Amino acid sequence: MSRQFKVAVVGATGAVGQEMLRVLEERNFPVSELVPVASERSAGKTVTFRGTEHTIVAISPEVFDGVDLALFSAGGGTSLEWAPIAASKGALVVDNSSAWRRDPEVPLVVPEVNLDHAANRPKGIIANPNCSTIQMVVALKPIHDAARLKRIVVATYQAISGAGAQAVDAFRTQSREYGEGKPVTAGKVGDVLAGSLLMRWTPDVASGYQEEEMKMVVETQKIFGDDTIRVSPTAVRVPVESGHSEAVTIETHEPMDAKRARALLEKAPGVVVIDDFAKGLYPKPKDAVGQDPVYVGRIRDDVGNPGGIQMWVVADNLRKGAALNAVQIAEGVLIGPEAFLR
């Protein structure tokens, strides 16, 4: 009989925590016991897993007794305080917040790209990258292996679900008000997104970038293990509920063209190529929702920079951009290096 694991999901009532539960169930992860963890406010409520109601417990050191896997998606403050405690009790910790991503003793892992980095985890913690970084590096991995990335210019078109369930509800209210011609209330979105675009991430004053953009710079270099890769990002929030899209332009050290890039991507794990633009076939966020792959299309030679390549990359930000990637890390580490490939 294959090994079963006691699993704690910290932040079980949030959008990503709920998606983690769905992914664990859909992928038939070998869970012997589920411990859903949330704030004191949510303690005593229930979540459904495999047809059974499970009572949510408030976080405490005792929660992690005997836990083999602790999936964290409850914000950076919670992760900084409680992830080391979970790890000290023997759990493999996979953290979805930004708290540990830049820590040199915490690997930052996307299984299709650098699962081998997970073996070196002196703190017992593995960090899940930013959602936009994940889908981009999955798409660029085969090209980097073949020709070494030199520069990446990326513009993200990020769905509001990345800001949480309350922001989604507020956006739905905004959309209704906008459609009815009424004054639009900002609510939990923080500004009016309906009929508009936003750039509301925390500014990085020194650089003029947003923190969301700088995450993509630092994380891409760390994941690929190459701090010479130049990354120029622009992050934009768009009026879409779920599914992040990216316009990506790359330069490589070795020769590469669109035809070869397409062939590499068609064989890459975790990637589905949808690329017949003449017939209107290209990835769309609505088609990625609830799906596991990273979708790539509009693969073309850069007309303004011979030798460069452009592409369009789309994925479900709550799934591959968060919950699925975390579960795949656990599969790769606890079950086997090929377990996440399905």
Please list the active-site residues. 131, 244
CB neighbourhood size of 127 (10 A): 28
How far is 161 from 122, CA to CA, in rounded Å? Answer: 33
Of the CA atoms within 13 Å of residue 114, those in its CB half-sphere come to 24
One-letter amino acid for residue 14 of the chain: G
Alpha carbon of residue 144 to chain centroid = 20
Which residues partner with 297 through β-bridges?
A: 312
153-186 burial by CB neighbour count: b if 16+ within 10 A, else e? bbebbbbbbbbeeebbebbebbbebbeeeeebee
Q: 325: which 2 tokens?
A: 């990637």
Q: 135: which 2 tokens?
A: 């889908």
User: Do you know the residue count of the chain?
Assistant: 342
How far is 256 from 264, CA to CA, in rounded Å? Answer: 11
In sequence order, which ranges of the chain are alpha helices (DSSP H)? 15-26, 76-88, 111-114, 131-147, 165-179, 211-224, 258-266, 285-288, 324-330
Angle between helices 258-266 and 131-147 (to 10 degrees): 110
Among residues 266, 269, 312, 320, the alpha carbon closest in space to that of 290 is found at 320
Alpha carbon of residue 285 to chain centroid = 14
Contact between 84 and 123 under an 8 Å Cβ cutoff? The reply is yes
Q: 194: which 2 tokens?
A: 């309906």
